[in-house]
């Protein structure tokens, strides 16, 4: 279990880093060019590492449903949506929403046993946990305890206005 937790933490760090890098690339290249660059480079690297570790068995996947082969297409929506949401909301708020929606969808799939997953009974604790996370995002974003603090985007807009004056 410890290794699983450490790998999940590593994945979270890498996803956050990738999203921030992607948003910086999109400032120069635009969202679609960024998506092509990210997924193209990722496909090339995955293919290379896959060949090195799996060899000829890389694509030997008997008994896999045909439509699972297209799951990589979700990456187009993921990268493009994240690049644009980070641009509009800032990295912390956008990633908080993404992680919460991931958790909600994972909970739904677990509870219903979709796509062959083992059914995990839905509990009140799970619902409360998701609601606490959503409440935390609200508190974080909308400065519930300190109304004088401006959100980062508004500060940025004020700085731009002052520079243009």
Report phi then psi at 73, rounded to 5: -65, -25
Taking the CB of residue 74, how many other CB atoms lie within 10 A of it? 9
What Cα–Cα distance (Å) separates residue 127 from each residue in 45, 77, 103, 113? 38, 27, 11, 17
Q: Give the containing element (helix H, strand E) for 126.
A: helix 124-142
Give the per-residue pLDDT at 141. 85
Whether 102 and 114 have beta carbons less than 8 Å apart is answered as no
Give the per-residue pLDDT at 142. 82
Task: Convert the pLDDT of each residue in 38-93 to its tens digit.
Answer: 999 999 999 999 999 999 888 888 888 888 888 889 999 999 999 999 999 988 89
Whether pLDDT at 34 is above 80: yes
Specify the pTM. 0.74
Give the per-residue pLDDT at 146. 67
């Amino acid at each position: 279990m410890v290794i699983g937790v450490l790998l999940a933490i590593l994945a979270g760090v890498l996803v956050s880093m990738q999203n921030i890098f992607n948003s910086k690339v999109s400032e120069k290249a635009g969202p679609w060019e960024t998506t092509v660059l990210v997924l193209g480079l990722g496909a090339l690297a995955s293919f290379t590492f896959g060949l090195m570790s799996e060899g000829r068995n890389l694509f030997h996947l008997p008994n896999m449903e045909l439509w699972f082969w297209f799951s990589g297409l979700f990456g187009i929506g993921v990268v493009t949506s994240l690049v644009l949401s980070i641009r509009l909301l800032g990295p912390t708020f956008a990633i908080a929403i993404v992680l919460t929606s991931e958790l909600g969808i994972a909970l739904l799939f677990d509870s219903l046993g979709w796509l062959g997953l083992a059914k995990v009974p839905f509990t009140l604790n799970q619902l409360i946990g998701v609601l606490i996370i959503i409440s935390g995002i609200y508190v974080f974003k909308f400065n519930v305890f300190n109304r004088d603090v401006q959100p980062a985007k508004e500060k940025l807009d004020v700085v731009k206005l002052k520079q243009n004056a």
